[in-house]
Structure 1
Amino acid sequence: MSASEKVKAQAEQLAGKTLRKAAHAMRDHTTEAKGAALETRGKAREAKERGKDTFKR
């Protein structure tokens, strides 16, 4: 996994988690769902990069 892709994945996960938790505290369900989607996208990006690394070896 390249360092820049790893940072992007971690940043998306952190931003999504922060957005989701803040929206949950404000009881804003739409924004909470957007935060969860962003977090999931970060996890998917990380999984994709791990898969690429597995096949490189």
Structure 2
Amino acid sequence: PAARRPVRCALCGRPLTGAESRRTGLGPDCDAKLHPPGPDIRTRRHEVEQDPLPGT
């Protein structure tokens, strides 16, 4: 069997071992730096002051 050609991270140069990392060309740490997760909308809730409804 032919040996696989080593694939290195495009950002830091470390060898990539995972199939997804080899496909994207970025290791998990570097991928997280370039593509941070989006904000969690559930943590963005905040209280606002409101006037009471008329008639209550």
Using structure 1 for the length normalisation, give the TM-score.
0.26
Question: Higher helix share goes to which structure?
Answer: 1
Structure with bigger RCO (C-alpha 8 Å, 6+ apart): 1
- Larger C-alpha radius of gyration, 1 or 2? 2
